[in-house]
Amino acid sequence: MFFWSRASKKSSIIPTGPEANRLRHVAIIMDGNGRWAQKRGLPRAAGHREGVKAVEKIVAEAVRLRLEVLTLYCFSNENWKRPQVELDALMALLEHFMVSSRPKFMEQNIRLRVIGRREGLTGSALSKIDETIAMTGQNSGLTLQLAINYGGRQELVDAARTLAGKAQEGTLKPEEIDEEQLAAALYTTGIPDPDLLIRTAGEMRLSNFLLWQLSYAELWVTDVCWPDFDEAKLRKAITAFQGRTRRFGAVK
């Protein structure tokens, strides 16, 4: 199954009126750690360690910018195909980040959410994730949402299973299933959809990330690998977003 900590407020799927121009939620596909390391003759694990440092900088900047939500694509379902030595390094980094970040999360009023399937993650990693979620659950500032062992198609499958179960129980009629019902069954229930998607390392694809939620997001891609992505580049992406007109299919 998947895990998450629920938000206290629900937002409409597509914002209307002044809300349509407001930047509430930034999602980032953090790509290029391995390439960054290989270009420097370093093991891929070194790139992941530098990537964590970039995460810390961007999270702090998101707090300063007063974003409501920052979602980071940390580890996909497909990443299990990587060499075991790299997987071990990633899990060790995950556990260390969950513990070492707690003082900053509390100081900066950050609330942690994690989306993805629990199966496959170690018991140690899960316990540290759950402890950090519980510790930050009452914080009211930035919601930091980490996608770990996540896949967009898998999320939609899980949502379909949830709705099918309700229909089988008789608590939901098939004809009552609409976009709001489906959105409420997703891992991200209660969280506004991303307004801006940033992808580093120059790749032009979604890579199975937030397939439902990114339907109306503005896209911004940079050739910079994730370890070199900094506060100035985040602001550059936001400036580009602010110069765009979002119509959501309507005519302005």
Catalytic residues: 31, 79
Position 80: which residue type?
W
Q: Which two tokens stand for residue 105?
A: 């999360």
* Sheet containing strand 143-150, strands side by side: 111-115, 143-150, 69-76, 25-29, 196-199, 218-221
Residue whose entry in the numeric block shows the structure tokens 């939500």: 69
Provide the residue count of the chain.
252
Q: Which two tokens stand for residue 88?
A: 């071990």
Residue 86 to residue 131: CA distance in whole angstroms? 25
Residue 237 to residue 241: CA distance in whole angstroms? 6
